[in-house]
């Protein structure tokens, strides 16, 4: 035991020392740079479809901002003249790990803001910590409405609309395009995203198409990869519509296996968040698939056009060889939101580097232009964004050799998002009270 | 009746796939005594290698003879085995044969972590697609539904693989030696078996089967990061149900899990997530070492 | 008597070093230490079972139960008192461990590992399905209070850290006594030759079941502290990779020394934290290489540097 | 017979034990009755059924048919632990020791378990009283100098003695020794047997031992059971059994009378 005491002391001292050195090496960032933590999936199943495209888009935009290559109102270099310096963190590893990493970013790396989180579990876990540490946190991607419905934060914002509008818009699309739906089935992943998506879908259909019957609801395990059994089950039911919020590799595998068995010839398929697999699937994505992109992102944004969209679209395509799908669009709207808030705060404080409080005050209720349309921090007491949405139908353009979106319907942000203070599920069930649609 | 038929067909298709991804795992455990957590990564590497090779095949005139892509698939798996098995077995695993089974699990967990990132470094994060072999054989009508003929090819290949492994172990000299090692390693060693060779051969076969599983799966999925993670835990459950080290057990376990899962998807979809663990817990409750392993009385 | 006073000295010293050292640590390191010590408790439970030759790949079960006790109590009853939450977690784990312990005590080796893993995965599946408990996204947990004292900021981190330190040191001392006890020696004998132990007239099942229940309680305490420190619980706590990390720390530490378990846990947290920052794209590879190097270089774990086994000989 | 208060109750009795492993008969109608304090030996070629008999009596194997009585009590279905607790202990052909523990610790384990109470979580295993007792026993078997050694470092004879010493720490009424001198150098055999038999006799332990060495059989046992093919083919005093032609043919492997000397 004697030995172990000495060793224990030695080891603890060594550990303490190494921690101390680690802390000392990280000097507080200078006032001419703005250090921002970017947290997104760099490994695992969500890296390919969400994390890496978003990070690529983010790095591209940061580079362009630092060089001052964007048009007004974003023509000021960096954030208000400060050079943007990004610290990348892999979001893989679960919420527990992300809470630790977030603390490290704020307390050890001394970042000025953190922009990140795709997983809704992380988006629920991290905000209380941001609040405790009084750190400026912007959630850029995750979909769960629970963040600001269950919590209320001063330092936390989400610059993307929550997932409610995805399925509300889909249901509206069915009615407005006159698609006959007597019964519909669902294939969604067995975790919060898939379960919520199906629940929203059933609720929206219940309001807009009360006669349509929800038949089988299947919940394969996330990253299952094999969907033969689910496809059989759906084909046996013969519904008019198949709803799915699958994403990434799962969606690609599902579409390969389902289209090989001709499922798209027997029923309409609506994919709540499916645009991001088009660059990979290309022609293997059948025509006539109803497609959402969780906002006016990707192909829908391109179809609408605009200076900002065209510039970023071309630069992204030149840099990475594929066109930008929803993930980089959400990263862009997040970064531009932070830029707007920082610059607004600097206007108010006389050009100083803003504190977390000043940035939070500036961002609250803010509205700005992004490639995906006008983003407004309208919900959650000015902390949760709403944004316009678009739904379209796939059509392969043989001549151009690329997938296009036809019959696109655009929805105003206030048409497919609940008003402030109303919970999303209740809003849907009540028949969308207060929705402003043109 | 239709429902039963559909459950059976779906269950068999899934079970056949499960068998291919788990038979190598059980073989490696039987001979080397190592539960290889990196099996899933080898599966993923097999899928990536296949996607790359078949992609090249079609890019350079494979369309003239599309069925040749099946040969390319098998060959890719073989290449993976020939390159990786000696490195892992000779370079790493052999140091742990005398250690605890659990150490083997941790070592291969380390290999799994390394390979996951290595795959990303080699192939990047963009998914690869090789759907040509999947569509090649067209569709088949079975009962009320259409299936992709490739699914039945998987059943056939799975059956052939199972038979080949069985034939090798029971009817060839090398196989019998391997079987002897499975039964009693020390005894075989004293009988003059070159255990080193047997281990390398067994591990190589295991890697080949894992990679072959990936090769067969590649055409029906998007080959992207993280595909190996799910495979490993499912394969474990299958071989634990069947009895570690038992080829017959892997077959029975795969069919049991396949049919239970199909029944659950068709009848009680809400149970799908943990049906596999449920089957495993029930089997272990009644047969603590799996179905095909007889508890051996130790000689004292 | 001499041995007893040795334990007292060690305990007092560990307490002084950890409490004193804590005052010097920056905020992020204080948090890291709290988590590492709490998780170390879970690994200590595995070490306890390792001494009798069993390795549980399902300690996430109890880690998760403990964490959910804190999450559910905070969300549904408003109880945030850490003493009460810890006591409840202990009770819950005693109940679950007591129910499964005698059953699992019949299993050995890889089957014990895999059966405990599947129990944990069943909890994972059930929690993922329970939307009322937050489903896969989990629940947020309110900050703990300490018998009416409700600190914030660094005070909160420090108080939670001190609470963890006291528990860890106390349990460490208890288990040292337990390792050196008759029960502990019989556990080691089971690890070597369980047939012999049965032939001497002791119940291997009973010993294994006791070890399982104790490690269940340690898992629960680790879980409740981690849940409160992180401020969020989700089914991931019961996922097999979580359990795998605990096993990794246990193997890294070896079964000889108790302080080694906590040092191993701290090392893992440090390596992970820094590799994630400096190698965001290859941190898994760094972790994997680290793991292999440790297993190859220190077959008996870090503990073999701390404490030699052969004290009986001299 | 069930009246255990009379001296007539045998210490150990088996009635019609049958055991087969597939096609191999390991025990066929084994019926013996061992009186208190008897010292019997069991002889037979490998596979004759001696160890199976020991395994059945000590609960490692259960007979397919038949009954085992210990002091008149039916113990047929008990496992090793209950049989040990009842008072029957055994040693092993290959010593069953705890390889990661020292000699002294092995002894301490057996003493801790021999305690009627289950091993305590709070009582130190190495308290001085226990260590003293352990050392006493090691001294009695003259292996105290090895107290700090691990099993891999021990000579075969020491392992055998430690194995038996551990078995004896529970103060058994009946002891079965499975080949106590196998693997031991020829010159050590008698000293080892002397030590063991002396210790057993001091505690009045009824003893059965399996043995191949006929010199040891004649010197230490007062009765011999000869096993062949799962049956007892002879059951008598050593001299008579060794002169039995069947025993000479099937067990000692020679018909020449001088072979047994």
Average pLDDT, chain A: 90
Chain D residues within 8 A of B300 when measuring between CB atoms: 51, 55, 60, 92-94, 96
- Give the DSSP letter string of A188-243: --SSHHHHHHHHHHHHHHHHH-TT-EEEEEE-PPTT----HHHHHHHHHH--SEEE
Chain B residues within 8 A of C106 when measuring between CB atoms: 288
Chain B: residue whose CA lies nearest to A186: B269
- Determine the average pLDDT of the residues in C246-272: 91
Residue % of chain A over a pLDDT of 90: 80
In sequence order, what are the beta bridge partners of A404?
A395
Chain D: residue whose CA lies nearest to C195: D96
Candidates C1, C18, C29, C228: best to mutate against A (most CBs of A within 10 A) is C29
Residue D125: its pLDDT value, please? 87
| Interface touch D169/C200, C-beta < 8 Å | yes
Range in A419-428, B114-123, B135-144, C202-211 with the lowest mean pLDDT: B135-144
DSSP designation for D65: E
Residue A223: its pLDDT value, please? 85
Q: Is residue C28 within a helix (H) or strand (E), and if so which, with residue range?
A: helix C27-50
- Determine the average pLDDT of the residues in C226-232: 95
Chain C: residue whose CA lies nearest to B297: C195
ipTM score: 0.87
Fold of D12-253: Rossmann fold (3.40.50)
Chain B: residue whose CA lies nearest to D61: B297
B100 has a pLDDT exceeding 80: no
Chain B residues within 8 A of D93 when measuring between CB atoms: 300
| Structural domain includes residue B102 | yes
A368 has a pLDDT exceeding 80: yes
Q: At what angle do helices C60-76 and C240-253 cross, to 10 degrees?
A: 120
C-alpha distance from C206 to closest chain D C-alpha (Å): 9
Kindly tell me the burial class for residue A422, based on how many C-beta atoms sit within 10 Å of its own C-beta (0-12, 13-18, 19 or more). middle
Residue A20: its pLDDT value, please? 44
Give yes or no for C2 touching D (CB within 8 A): no
Average pLDDT, chain D: 90
Q: Compare CB distances from C182 to D102, D120, D170 and report the shortest one's residue.
A: D120
| Structural domain includes residue B124 | yes
Whole-angstrom distance, CA of residue B1 vs CA of residue A281: 37
pLDDT digits (tens, 9 = 90+) for B188-232: 777 777 888 889 999 999 999 999 999 999 999 999 888 888 888
C-alpha distance from C114 to closest chain D C-alpha (Å): 25
pLDDT digits (tens, 9 = 90+) for B132-186: 999 889 888 877 788 999 999 999 999 999 999 999 988 998 888 888 887 777 7
Spell out which chain C residues touch chain B, with contact meaning CB-CB distance below 8 angstroms.
Answer: 55, 57, 106-107, 109-111, 113-115, 118-119, 121-122, 125-126, 128-129, 195, 240, 244, 247-248, 251, 281-285, 287-289, 291-292, 295-296, 299
For B296, phi and psi rounded to 5 degrees? -90, 135
| Interface touch C193/D99, C-beta < 8 Å | yes
Chain C residues within 8 A of A128 when measuring between CB atoms: 140, 231-232
Expressed in angstroms, the distance from the first to the final Cα of chain D is 39
Q: Compare CB distances from A107 to C28, C131, C307 and report the shortest one's residue.
A: C28
pLDDT digits (tens, 9 = 90+) for B223-248: 988 888 888 888 988 998 998 888 99
Q: Do chains A and B touch (3 or more CB pairs under 8 A)?
A: yes
Beta C232-233 vs C139-140: how paired, if at all?
Answer: antiparallel
Whole-angstrom distance, CA of residue B122 vs CA of residue B209: 22
- Which domains does chain C possess? 2-313 (1.10.3470)
Whole-angstrom distance, CA of residue D120 vs CA of residue A175: 74
Contact, A29 vs A85, CB < 8 A?
yes
pLDDT bin (cut points 50, 70, 90) of residue D251 is confident
pLDDT digits (tens, 9 = 90+) for D189-230: 999 999 999 999 999 999 999 999 999 999 999 999 999 999
| Interface touch B273/C129, C-beta < 8 Å | yes
pLDDT bin (cut points 50, 70, 90) of residue A23 is very low
D8 has a pLDDT exceeding 80: no
Kindly tell me the burial class for residue C19, based on how many C-beta atoms sit within 10 Å of its own C-beta (0-12, 13-18, 19 or more). middle
C-alpha distance from B111 to closest chain C C-alpha (Å): 6
C-alpha distance from B22 to closest chain C C-alpha (Å): 16
Chain D: residue whose CA lies nearest to C4: D124
More confident residue, A140 or C122: A140
Residue D104: its pLDDT value, please? 95
Total CB pairs under 8 A between chain B and D = 9
For D207, phi and psi rounded to 5 degrees? -125, 135
- Determine the average pLDDT of the residues in A34-62: 94
Q: Compare CB distances from B273 to A190, A235, A256 and report the shortest one's residue.
A: A190
| Structural domain includes residue B183 | yes
Give yes or no for D122 touching C (CB within 8 A): yes
Residue C260: its pLDDT value, please? 93
A79 has a pLDDT exceeding 60: yes
In angstroms, how far is CA A298 from the centroid of its own chain? 13
CATH of the domain at B129: 1.10.3470
CA neighbor of D217 nearest in space, from D43, D29, D94: D43
Q: Do chains D and A touch (3 or more CB pairs under 8 A)?
A: no
> With DSSP H G I counted as helix, E B as strand and the rest as coil, what are the percentages for chain D, rounded to 5?
40, 25, 40
Residue B300: its pLDDT value, please? 67
pLDDT bin (cut points 50, 70, 90) of residue A30 is low
- Which domains does chain A possess? 29-162+306-386 (3.40.50.2300), 164-299+388-429 (3.40.50.2300)
Chain A residues within 8 A of B144 when measuring between CB atoms: 236
| Interface touch D170/C200, C-beta < 8 Å | yes
Give yes or no for B281 touching C (CB within 8 A): yes
Contact, A61 vs A335, CB < 8 A?
yes
Chain B stretch 269-298, residues whose beta carbon is closer than 8 A to a beta carbon of chain D: 297
Whole-angstrom distance, CA of residue C62 vs CA of residue C56: 11
C-alpha distance from C146 to closest chain B C-alpha (Å): 38
- Determine the average pLDDT of the residues in C46-73: 94
The two structure tokens encoding residue C304: 């073999």
Residue recorded with tokens 């007979």: D63
Chain C residues within 8 A of D170 when measuring between CB atoms: 200-201
Q: Is residue A85 within a helix (H) or strand (E), and if so which, with residue range?
A: strand A83-90
Give yes or no for C203 touching D (CB within 8 A): yes
Q: Compare CB distances from A232 to B6, B139, B217 and report the shortest one's residue.
A: B6
Chain C: residue whose CA lies nearest to B232: C240
A22 has a pLDDT exceeding 60: no
Domain ranges of chain D: 12-253
DSSP designation for D2: -
| Structural domain includes residue B21 | yes
Q: Compare CB distances from C125 to B92, B277, B280 and report the shortest one's residue.
A: B277
Residue C85: its pLDDT value, please? 96
| Interface touch D147/C313, C-beta < 8 Å | yes
In angstroms, how far is CA D242 from the centroid of its own chain? 21
Residue B299: its pLDDT value, please? 67
Residue % of chain B over a pLDDT of 70: 97
| Interface touch B129/A284, C-beta < 8 Å | yes
Give the up-direction half-sphere exposure of residue A187: CA atoms within 13 A in the CB hemisphere: 32
Q: How many domains does chain B have?
A: 1
pLDDT digits (tens, 9 = 90+) for D90-119: 999 999 999 989 999 999 999 999 988 888
| Interface touch A3/C308, C-beta < 8 Å | yes
| Interface touch C128/A190, C-beta < 8 Å | yes
pLDDT digits (tens, 9 = 90+) for A106-156: 999 999 999 999 999 999 999 999 999 999 999 999 999 999 998 899 999
C-alpha distance from D85 to closest chain C C-alpha (Å): 6
Range in A2-11, A357-366, A388-397, C128-137 with the lowest mean pLDDT: A2-11
C-alpha distance from C271 to closest chain D C-alpha (Å): 32
Give yes or no for B145 touching A (CB within 8 A): yes
pLDDT bin (cut points 50, 70, 90) of residue D47 is confident
- Determine the average pLDDT of the residues in A232-256: 94
pLDDT digits (tens, 9 = 90+) for A294-351: 999 999 999 888 999 999 999 999 999 999 999 999 999 999 999 999 999 999 999 9
D26 by DSSP, 3-state: which?
strand
The two structure tokens encoding residue B39: 């099996």
| Structural domain includes residue B238 | yes
C-alpha distance from B120 to closest chain A C-alpha (Å): 8
A27 has a pLDDT exceeding 50: no
- Determine the average pLDDT of the residues in D150-172: 93
Give the up-direction half-sphere exposure of residue B75: CA atoms within 13 A in the CB hemisphere: 9
C-alpha distance from B239 to closest chain D C-alpha (Å): 28
| Interface touch B300/D55, C-beta < 8 Å | yes
Lay out the sheet containing A241-244: strands in order across. Answer: A213-218, A183-187, A241-244, A268-271, A290-292, A389-397, A402-411
Chain B stretch 99-138, residues whose beta carbon is closer than 8 A to a beta carbon of chain C: 99-103, 105-107, 109-114, 116-118, 120-121
pLDDT bin (cut points 50, 70, 90) of residue C311 is very low
In angstroms, how far is CA D42 from the centroid of its own chain? 10
Residue A60: its pLDDT value, please? 97
Look up the domain containing B81 and give its range: 2-286
Candidates A91, A214, A226, A264: best to mutate against B (most CBs of B within 10 A) is A226
Contact, D161 vs D153, CB < 8 A?
no
In angstroms, how far is CA C290 from the centroid of its own chain? 21
Q: Compare CB distances from A2 to C6, C134, C140 and report the shortest one's residue.
A: C6
| Interface touch A256/B17, C-beta < 8 Å | no
């Amino acid at each position: 035991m004697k030995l172990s005491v000495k060793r224990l002391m030695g080891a603890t001292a060594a550990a303490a020392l190494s921690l101390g050195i680690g802390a000392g090496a990280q000097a507080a960032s200078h006032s001419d740079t703005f250090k921002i933590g970017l947290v997104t999936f760099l490994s695992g199943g969500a890296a390919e479809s969400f994390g890496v495209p978003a990070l690529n888009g983010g790095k591209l935009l940061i580079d362009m901002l630092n060089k001052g290559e964007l048009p007004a109102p974003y023509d000021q270099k960096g954030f208000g003249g400060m050079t943007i310096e990004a610290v990348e963190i892999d979001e893989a590893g679960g919420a527990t790990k992300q809470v630790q990493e977030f603390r490290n970013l704020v307390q050890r790396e001394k970042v000025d803001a953190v922009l990140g989180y795709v997983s809704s579990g992380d988006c629920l876990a991290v905000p209380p910590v941001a609040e405790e540490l009084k750190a400026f946190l912007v959630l850029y991607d995750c979909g769960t409405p629970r963040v600001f419905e269950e919590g209320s934060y001063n330092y936390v914002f989400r610059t993307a609309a929550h997932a409610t509008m995805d399925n509300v818009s889909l249901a509206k699309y069915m009615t407005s395009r006159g698609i006959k739906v007597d019964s519909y089935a669902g294939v969604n992943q067995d975790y919060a995203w898939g379960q919520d998506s199906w629940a929203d879908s059933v609720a929206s259909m219940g309001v807009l198409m009360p006669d349509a019957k929800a038949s089988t609801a299947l919940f394969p395990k996330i990253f299952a990869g094999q969907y033969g059994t689910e496809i059989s089950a759906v084909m046996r039911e013969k519904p008019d519509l198949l709803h799915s919020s699958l994403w990434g590799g799962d969606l690609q595998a599902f579409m390969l296996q389902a289209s090989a068995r001709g499922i798209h010839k027997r029923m309409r398929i609506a994919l709540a968040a499916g645009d991001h697999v088009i660059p990979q699937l290309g022609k293997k994505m059948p025509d006539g698939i109803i497609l959402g992109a969780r906002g006016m992102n990707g192909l829908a944004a391109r179809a609408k056009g605009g200076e900002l969209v065209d510039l970023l679209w071309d630069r992204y395509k030149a840099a990475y060889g594929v066109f930008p799908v929803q993930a980089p669009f959400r990263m862009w709207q997040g970064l531009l939101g932070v830029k707007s808030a920082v610059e607004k705060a600097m206007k108010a404080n006389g050009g100083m580097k803003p504190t977390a409080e000043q940035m939070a005050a500036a961002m609250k209720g803010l509205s700005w232009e992004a490639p995906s349309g006008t983003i407004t921090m309208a919900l959650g007491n000015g902390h949760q964004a709403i944004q316009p949405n678009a739904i379209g139908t796939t059509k392969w353009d043989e001549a151009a050799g690329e997938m296009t979106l036809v019959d696109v319907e655009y929805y105003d942000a206030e048409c497919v998002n609940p008003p402030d203070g109303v919970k999303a599920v209740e809003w849907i069930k009540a028949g969308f009270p207060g929705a402003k649609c043109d | 009746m239709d429902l039963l038929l559909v459950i059976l067909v779906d269950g068999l298709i899934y079970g056949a796939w499960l068998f291919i991804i788990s038979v190598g795992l059980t073989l490696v455990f039987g001979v080397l005594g190592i539960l290889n957590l990196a099996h899933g990564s080898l599966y993923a590497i097999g899928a990536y290698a296949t996607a790359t090779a078949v992609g090249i095949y079609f890019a350079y005139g494979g369309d003239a003879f599309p069925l040749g892509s099946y040969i390319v698939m098998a060959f890719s798996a073989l290449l993976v085995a020939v390159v990786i098995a000696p490195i892992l077995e000779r370079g790493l695993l052999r140091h742990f044969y005398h250690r605890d089974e659990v150490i083997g699990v941790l070592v291969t967990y380390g290999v799994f972590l390394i390979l996951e990132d290595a795959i990303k470094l080699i192939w990047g994060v963009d998914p690869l697609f090789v759907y040509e072999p999947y569509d090649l054989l067209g569709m088949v009508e079975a009962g009320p539904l259409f299936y992709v003929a490739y699914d039945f090819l998987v059943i056939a290949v799975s059956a052939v693989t199972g038979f080949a492994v069985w034939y090798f172990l029971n009817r060839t000299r090398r196989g019998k030696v391997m079987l002897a090692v499975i039964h009693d390693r020390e005894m075989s060693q004293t009988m003059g078996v070159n255990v080193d060779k047997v281990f390398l051969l067994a591990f190589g076969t295991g890697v080949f089967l894992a990679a072959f599983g990936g090769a067969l799966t590649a055409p029906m999925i998007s080959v992207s990061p993280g595909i190996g993670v799910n495979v490993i835990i499912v394969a474990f459950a299958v071989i634990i149900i069947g009895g570690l080290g038992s080829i017959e057990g892997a077959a029975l376990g795969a069919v049991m899990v396949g049919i239970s899962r199909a029944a659950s998807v068709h009848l009680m979809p809400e149970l799908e997530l943990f049906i596999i663990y449920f089957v495993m817990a029930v089997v272990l409750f009644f047969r603590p070492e799996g179905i095909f392993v007889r508890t051996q009385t130790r000689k004292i | 008597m001499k041995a007893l006073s040795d334990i007292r000295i060690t305990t007092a010293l560990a307490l002084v070093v950890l409490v004193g050292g804590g005052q010097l640590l920056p905020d992020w390191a204080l948090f890291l230490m709290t988590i590492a010590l709490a998780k170390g408790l879970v690994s200590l439970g595995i070490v306890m079972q390792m001494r009798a030759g069993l390795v549980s790949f399902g300690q996430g079960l109890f880690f998760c139960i403990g964490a959910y006790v804190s999450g559910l109590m905070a969300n549904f009853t408003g109880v945030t008192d850490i003493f009460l939450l810890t006591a409840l977690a202990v009770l819950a784990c005693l109940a679950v461990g007591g129910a499964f312990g005698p059953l699992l005590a019949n299993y050995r080796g890889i089957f014990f590992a895999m059966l405990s893993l599947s129990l944990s995965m069943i909890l994972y599946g059930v929690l993922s399905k329970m939307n009322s408990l937050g489903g896969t996204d989990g629940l947020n947990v309110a900050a703990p209070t300490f018998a009416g004292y409700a600190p914030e900021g660094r005070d909160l981190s420090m108080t939670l850290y001190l609470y963890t330190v006291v528990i860890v040191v106390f349990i460490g001392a208890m288990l040292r006594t337990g390792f050196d006890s008759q029960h502990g020696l019989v556990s080691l004998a089971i690890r070597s030759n369980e047939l012999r132990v049965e032939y001497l007239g002791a119940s291997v099942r009973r010993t294994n079941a006791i070890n399982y229940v104790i490690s269940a309680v340690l898992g629960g305490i680790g879980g409740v502290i981690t849940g409160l420190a992180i401020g969020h619980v989700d089914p991931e706590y019961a996922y097999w990779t979580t359990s795998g990390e605990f096993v990794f720390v246990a193997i890294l530490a070896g079964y000889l020394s108790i302080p080694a378990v906590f040092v191993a846990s701290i090392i893992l947290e440090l390596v992970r934290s820094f590799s994630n920052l400096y190698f965001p794209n290859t941190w898994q590879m760094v972790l994997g290489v680290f793991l292999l190097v440790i297993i190859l270089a220190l077959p008996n774990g870090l503990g073999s540097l701390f404490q030699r086994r052969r004290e009986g000989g001299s | 017979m069930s009246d255990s208060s009379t001296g007539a109750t045998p210490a150990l009795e088996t009635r019609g034990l049958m055991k087969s492993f597939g096609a191999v008969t390991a025990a066929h109608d084994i019926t013996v009755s061992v009186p208190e304090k008897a010292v019997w030996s069991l002889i037979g070629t490998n596979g004759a059924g001696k160890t199976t008999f020991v395994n059945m009596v000590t609960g490692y194997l259960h007979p397919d048919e038949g009954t085992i009585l210990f002091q008149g009590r039916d113990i047929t279905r008990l496992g090793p632990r209950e049989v040990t607790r009842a008072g029957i202990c055994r040693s092993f052909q290959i010593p069953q020791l705890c390889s990661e523990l020292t000699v002294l610790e092995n002894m301490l384990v057996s003493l801790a378990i021999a305690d009627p109470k289950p091993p305590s979580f709070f009582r130190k295993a190495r308290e001085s009283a226990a260590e003293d007792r352990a050392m006493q026993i090691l001294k009695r078997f003259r292996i105290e100098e090895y107290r700090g050694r691990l099993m891999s470092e021990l000579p075969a004879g020491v392992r055998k003695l430690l194995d038996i010493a551990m078995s004896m720490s529970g103060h058994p009424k009946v002891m079965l020794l499975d080949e106590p001198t196998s693997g031991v150098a020829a010159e050590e055999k008698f000293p080892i047997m002397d030590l063991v038999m002396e210790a057993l006799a001091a505690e009045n332990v009824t003893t059965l031992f399996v043995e191949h060495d006929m010199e040891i059989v004649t010197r230490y046992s007062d009765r011999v059971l000869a096993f062949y093919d799962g049956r007892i083919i002879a059951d008598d005093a050593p001299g008579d059994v060794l002169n039995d032609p069947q025993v000479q043919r099937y067990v000692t492997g020679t018909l020449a009378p001088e072979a047994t000397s």
